A = this chain, B = another copy of it.
């Protein structure tokens, strides 16, 4: 039984560890929507933490929409939001699999660099802060599909650039090893002509139409955790989305 650990070097804050445990329990179905959590005082005792620390974890989770509280009654697991219509937030791997294609990835480069003006703006960092830049070529059933340049704040995922499994789903890594769960993203799409760099990687002629997808992914706390620029081959990729009428329009 993984107990909340203290004192170890490089350990995560106690409230973060508690948040992780509760996330896990919900994800694994040990806690279902509507279920009541142990009371704050009971959690304190069980994990040997103070009430304020416990409350910080719970308050965060309430803000993130995982839980809700009722004064005098208790803390409960919230129902998943009804985000009807919108397509799910998925990475390349899941996207390709859902289209019946086999995703593969070539890691072209990974390094820690200071954030450029643009990257800093998207990730809401100060210019020059350290970010991990990961460039990957993504294949679908053996064919080049997408050239992807991904930026993450280094402090959110320290040591990411040294990992050996960067050819898999980045979101899986972030979730499993860094406790970062993507919750929402803002995307823009535009049509651009392939420059030499992209054309070469994607094996098309320069000037060919590409779909440029830019995404800022946010985690449960609303912090920007990733900024991606992906160049998709225009002849192979089609983006889909559902739109819903907003109220009051």
Copies of this protein chain in the complex? 2
A225 within 8 A of partner (CB): no
**Chain B neighbourhood of A47, CB < 8 A:** none
Residue of B nearest to A216 (CB): B83
**Chain B neighbourhood of A87, CB < 8 A:** 243, 246
Residue of B nearest to A232 (CB): B191
Q: Are B242 and A185 in contact (CB under 8 A)?
A: yes
A209 within 8 A of partner (CB): yes
Q: Are A126 and B249 in contact (CB under 8 A)?
A: no
- Separation of A198 and B71 alpha carbons in the complex (Å): 38
Residue of B nearest to A189 (CB): B239
Of B193, B222, B237, B245, the contact of A190 (CB 8 Å cutoff): B237
Digitize A68-109: 1 where CB-to-B-CB distance is under 8 Å, 0 elsewhere: 101000000000110101111110001000000000000000
In chain A, residues 128-177, which have Cβ atoms closer than 8 Å to a Cβ of chain B?
none
Q: Are A68 and B207 in contact (CB under 8 A)?
A: no
Residue of B nearest to A236 (CB): B190
A88 and B239 in contact (CB under 8 A), knowing A191-B210, A193-B208? no
Q: Are A243 and B189 in contact (CB under 8 A)?
A: no
A63 within 8 A of partner (CB): yes
- Separation of A63 and B239 alpha carbons in the complex (Å): 29
A188 within 8 A of partner (CB): yes
Of B83, B187, B189, B243, the contact of A211 (CB 8 Å cutoff): B189
Of B124, B190, B234, B247, the contact of A238 (CB 8 Å cutoff): B190
- Separation of A186 and B247 alpha carbons in the complex (Å): 18
Q: Are A88 and B238 in contact (CB under 8 A)?
A: no
A10 within 8 A of partner (CB): no
Of B83, B238, B244, the contact of A189 (CB 8 Å cutoff): B238
A127 within 8 A of partner (CB): no
Residue of B nearest to A223 (CB): B68
A-B pairs, 6 with minimum CB distance: A80-B247, A191-B234, A209-B209, A191-B209, A88-B246, A191-B191
